[in-house]
Amino acid sequence: MERRSDYKTALMIEATIHEAQDQNRSPARALAALGVPFEVAMRVLTRPDERRHAVPPPRSSEAQG
């Protein structure tokens, strides 16, 4: 399966992972609930350096204000 080249999808996946972690839920289950294929979820979660679109980490509230 090809990697997604769509930046909006990359953002959505990144947001889903962070939201799941913030709520102490499984990021893998959250991605599965979105319909992300297992192979893609495994690659995203275990080899994030291979993602086509690197999404910068969210800024902390301390850095913003």
Confidence at residue 26, expressed as pLDDT on a 0 to 100 scale: 92
Token duo for residue 63? 């850095």
Per-residue confidence at 58, pLDDT binned at 50, 70, 90?
Answer: low
The confidence score (pLDDT) of residue 1 equals 47
Q: CA–CA separation, 22 vs 37, rounded Å?
A: 22
Distance in angstroms (rounded) separating the CA atoms of residues 48 and 17: 12
d(C-alpha 45, C-alpha 17), whole Å: 9
pLDDT digits (tens, 9 = 90+) for 5-35: 577 777 888 889 899 989 999 999 999 998 8
